[in-house]
Amino acid sequence: MASPDTTWKLSLFAPKKIVQDALLAHDLIEDWDPDLVIAGREVAEDQPDDWVLEGWLPRKPGKAEKAALAGLFTGKAPKVVIEELPPTDWVTLSQQGTPPIRAGRFHVHTPEYPADPQAIDFTIPASQAFGTGQHRTTAGCLEMLGTMKASGLIARNIADIGTGTGLLGFAALALWPHAKCTLTDIDPVCAPVVEENAALNAIPLGPRAGEAVMIVADGMDDPLITVRGPYDLLIANILAGPLVELAPDFARAVAPGGSLLLAGLLAGEQEAAVKQAMRRAGFRPAARLQNGDWAILWLRRRRGWSHAR
């Protein structure tokens, strides 16, 4: 979550593969400072091999923070460039004025843009939660949900783990309007954001079929998530590290023959690690798509498979 207070930004420029390896190293660190939020991106569209690892901190960075970022790189780390940003809600600012996206059957836009009557339309304002559809992982999930529906998949009980704005859960409920839908996120700020977006998009909130329930929880760690399962469609657009850790929990939560939609992982090493963890948990691949450097995976839980194996 971005803070409206002063933020400090740390940037480390390196080739694409080196930054991606650093992101993978970050996923494996369990005691990372939660105040130091990082992301990687290409410097410009016409420089696809030139990337930057960016970190944001709500206080002036010291030696520990700079060392933590440098430690993600093997060999000599790039120079850390530090800048103080003015008091701004950077998540909201980055999302304001962003153009609408079309992902498969879905059209997602901020309130400044008109709806598309030819698509399944969602209005998602700039907010303190992530998931407006602009990121390639979110757009890829929307496209994959349409593929699932077109393939004949029937979903009666849906969960969206790490829901952010609620968009992916809302999209699944639009495709399977008679399903129960459970939305979860570790960040408490997401609860009012989801409620606001549900009202804006006429998504009913409640425990019954055709309605969505919002739960603040760390991963799958909430008894209500268990009680509302098992799920025949579970969505998790988070990060590769948590996906690997949650594989056994997903196996317990997804019904035999049920579907798992995963995103937030880079194609390559992260994808391979997630696939291996899911295979061990009893999931088999059903479909895959790639949006830029990001892989989106549809997996099915094997029938008769015990997650304890």
Residue 48: give the domain boundaries: 7-88
Q: In what order do the strands lie in the sheet with 106-109?
A: 101-103, 106-109, 120-123
Task: Summarize pLDDT for 159-200 with one digit per residue, the tens.
Answer: 999 999 999 999 999 999 999 999 999 888 889 999 999 999
- Name the band, by pLDDT with cuts 50, 70 and 90, for residue 49: confident
- pTM exceeding the 0.75 threshold for the entire prediction: no
The domain boundary residue, chosen from 30, 58, 88: 88
Q: Count the domains in the chain.
A: 2
Pairwise CA distance, residues 47 & 42, whole Å: 7
Q: Give me the CATH number covering residue 11.
A: 3.30.70
Residue 132 pLDDT more than 80? no
In a domain, 307, yes or no: no
Task: Summarize pLDDT for 2-41 with one digit per residue, the tens.
Answer: 344 567 889 999 999 999 888 888 877 878 888 888 888 8
Question: Which stretches within the chain are classed as H helix?
Answer: 16-27, 63-70, 90-95, 136-150, 167-175, 190-200, 223-228, 240-253, 269-280
Residues 106, 83 share a domain: no
